[in-house]
Structure 1
Amino acid sequence: MEDAAKLPLPEAFLNFLHSNGIDPSIYTAIHSTPRFIRLKPGFEDYIEEFEAEMKCKVEKLEWLEGFYSLSHDIQIAGSRAYQEGKIYGIDASSGAAVTALHISPGDHVLDLCAAPGAKLCMILDLVGDSGSVTGVDVARHRLAACRTMVQKYALGDRCRLFVADGTTFSVIPVGFHSDCISCESKSEESVDVFKEWTSRRPWKERKRASRCGTPQLVSRDQPPELIYYGRHSGVVGLPKGELFKTASDDEIASLGYDKVLVDAECTHDGSVKHIQKFEHWGWRTLERRVLDAERTDHLHALQLNLLTNGFRLLKVGGSLVYSTCSLTVAQNEDVLEQFLKENKTAELVEIDAARNWPCKGGRIPKTWRFDPLASQTSGLFVARFTKVVI
């Protein structure tokens, strides 16, 4: 293993790692960290076909159901199983974060930072034929990619996707009106209800968008934009005025989400593959995105606001998982400590499955850290909360 002095990393980044207690040698693990795939339930028999087609060996992960590892240099996009929507790429540490939610069929789940979409697909797999999944992201183009993924993998039936700022998003789960419009709506022709979703937009809307342009990032003040909803997501047949109604804290306590995932925006310093890209992007870009003090202060505030709002939308007794692919204390333990001080109904709880994970405990009990050397995965911090009644 190379020592830190021989790593192709700028001194400023090495100092950043040292100040955060991060071992610089994790960035030598690019060739030893495998690629991971997840099979859609019911397609386990396709592994042998995949191995024969790709001429590779696939290893089943004993500690994470449905996951397999293979050599990092295998390009899965060319395989039939990928093209036919039977497998998708997702790092095992990300899969662990979803597993920590302990999703059950029938749950209403919120993925507050849904892009690029692999965790969203896994959540939809676990929800199955009941419940609903709401995906939110501030970037329109990234959420559009999520929409493409859920359609490709035929997982969109119970999914809603909103372009919105996750720190102010307020849409709660809705009752199911998929089979028919309510009697009241039928009798009142003036009530405008959601029809079955289609990718075709009215001519006037397309003309207006081409003339004005569509911003890719939305602001805190912009209302949520619904860009996709499945047939059984609770939207079809719903009066349009009902979807965006604001709920009180008392209503959210019983009508909020059963499970919430806040995989927050971060510096991505725990991802070896992400840091490696700066060799091409330029180390000055890394200094701006990762090391700049103003940037990291902004991220800390953003992460705290995302966690706070995600928890606000959680029903009493529900579970929220907070995760980042940063290994810094400032973006993880420091955020959690401040959040717990400000939210008396939040309780940090054990992640039972973590006992079998190849990871280490964080600086706060009941939190966990994956890293490329110890875990053979991308770096990830994971913590789980529940909402209690005081």
Structure 2
Amino acid sequence: TRHLAVEILTQIDLHQAYPNLELKKRLKNSALSPRDKAFVTALVYGVIKRKYQLDFVIDELSKTKRNKISHRILQVLRIGTFQILFFDKVPSFAAVNECVELGKKYSRGKAGGFVNGLLRNLVRQKDAIQEKLQQGILQYSVSQELFDLVSSQYGERFAHEFFMEFLKESPVTIRINQSKTSREKVRDQLKKDGIDVGEGRFFDYCLQLDSTVDIASNDSFRKGEFIVQDEGAMFSVEALEVKEGDRVLDMCCAPGGKTTHIAERIKQPRNVTARDLYNHKIQLVRQNLQRLGLNDRVYTEVYDGTTFDEKDRNRYDKVLLDAPCSGLGIIRRKPDIKYGTSEEKRNALVEIQRRMVLNGFDSLKPGGILVYTTCTINKNENEGMVDFLLKNRKEARVKKNHAHKILEEEKEEDGCIRLYPQIHKVDGFFICAIEKKENE
């Protein structure tokens, strides 16, 4: 199992593979038990989540510079360090022994002593090392640049609580496919399957499951009775307030959580148009629609949302723009986001968002609603984008709706919804409904 974790982590480091996709690909073809699959997943995400801390420890204890250690041996050390410091399900001596064997395997016996010496040294110094890891920026396992970004926009205390939240385990939330079944039936079936089930925080059509559950092999999942989706993401469809007969455009639809949510509520065939930039993303959406039995309600197409097709002008009652963004609100689910973000990349995203938000708004009929949403908390991509739209389209105005009442936070003067992981215990989202005023 640790061998598989080493291979997955090496692919992620060397080839920028996405952890969720690499895990899916490798675990699908493996003969591992569900328990072992959960163990590999926990190791991979644990190492990614705490990589800054793990590398600090390796640098402290190794006489060899990190850039001189081979890729796979470095992953072995990270896995061993993670288990000794943060993973109490495995005794330290077992973690050391397993990693020593792996080290030998990857170096024809040469690195066994190096791995053994470093990890045993760590076991001896564990308390002192853990104390060091509580100092300054190290405690969050994020870069100074990222901490400073959040701190400058929200204050240091917020940044502290925000990044600490991402080191915690988060449950899996599922949305019940109400066109097929009910929450009660799914809950009862999952309990029969031996799965711990909890209630959602905000919506009566979702449930929370333990994060170690192997969902893909669950019978209710295969039958299309639910889809995995964070509750934070559900707010954007609530804010859209779709009703039967609406013509709806979902501009960035993959992997299809919000598209299928909309399709459940609009029963007419092909009244929903779902677009994304790449064919493989559209295929993923189609798979989800097929599994949930909603494919006849949605027309899917590969389309670049930064370009405008004149036939879309004034065409839709509702438009959902779940814009490409820096993803800072979902680091607890996708910890690799921490290592891929930069000011340059965030600024490039703002340019894309600007083109898309204007195109989305221009696709609305007068009286229609655009919901602009991101899974980031970066204000340039959120409030900045709403300001940009209001300045550039005189008929645009922010509209409060019933999604605010669900949150019971009507104090947001500007009409936008802001979800923060450390406060609401869901993924971080920004959601704003913007109405196109009727011609007066």
Normalised to the residue count of structure 1, the TM-score between the two structures is: 0.71
The DSSP-based 3-state class of the residue aligned with 1:304 is helix
1:326 equivalent in structure 2: 376
* 2:193 aligned with 1:53: yes
1:36 and 1:312 map into 2 onto residues whose CA distance is 34
Contact 1:268 1:325 in 2 (8 A): yes
1:28 equivalent in structure 2: 164
Change (3 A) 1:82 1:290: same
1:385 equivalent in structure 2: 434
Cα deviation code 1:177-200 (max 9, x no counterpart):
xxxxxxxxxxxxxxxxxxxxxxxx
1:228 equivalent in structure 2: none
Contact 1:268 1:326 in 2 (8 A): yes
Structure of greater Rg: 2
Change (3 A) 1:145 1:130: closer
Cα deviation code 1:281-317 (max 9, x no counterpart):
xx6xx2xx42232x22221111111111011011111
2:333 and 2:411 map into 1 onto residues whose CA distance is 23
* 2:267 aligned with 1:267: no
Larger fraction in helix: 2
Change (3 A) 1:32 1:154: same
Q: Give 1:66 shift.
A: 1.2
Q: Give 1:65 shift.
A: 3.8
1:3 and 1:33 map into 2 onto residues whose CA distance is 24
1:156 and 1:113 map into 2 onto residues whose CA distance is 17
* 2:316 aligned with 1:292: no
Cα deviation code 1:123-169 (max 9, x no counterpart):
11111245611011112211111111111211110211111111224
* 2:162 aligned with 1:98: no
Query: What stretches of structure 1 of length at least 5 have no aligned partner?
Result: 171-245
Change (3 A) 1:353 1:3: farther
Q: Give 1:19 shift.
A: 2.1
* 2:107 aligned with 1:43: no
Q: Give 1:7 shift.
A: 1.4
Normalised to the residue count of structure 2, the TM-score between the two structures is: 0.63
2:223 and 2:404 map into 1 onto residues whose CA distance is 32
1:276 equivalent in structure 2: 335
Change (3 A) 1:340 1:90: same
2:252 equivalent in structure 1: 113
Change (3 A) 1:275 1:19: farther
Q: Give 1:28 shift.
A: 2.8
Change (3 A) 1:107 1:54: farther
1:64 equivalent in structure 2: 203
Match of 1:17 among 146, 150, 169: 150
Q: Which amino acid letter does the alignment assign opposite residue 234 of structure 2?
A: G
Change (3 A) 1:248 1:39: closer
Q: Percent identity?
A: 25
Tell me the matched-pair count.
298
Cα deviation code 1:183-218 (max 9, x no counterpart):
xxxxxxxxxxxxxxxxxxxxxxxxxxxxxxxxxxxx
1:73 equivalent in structure 2: 212
Change (3 A) 1:247 1:68: same
The DSSP-based 3-state class of the residue aligned with 1:23 is helix
Match of 2:362 among 284, 302, 312: 312
Instruction: Tell me the C-alpha RMSD between the 2 structures.
Output: 2.2
Query: What stretches of structure 2 of length at least 5 have no aligned partner?
Result: 1-133
1:248 and 1:60 map into 2 onto residues whose CA distance is 37
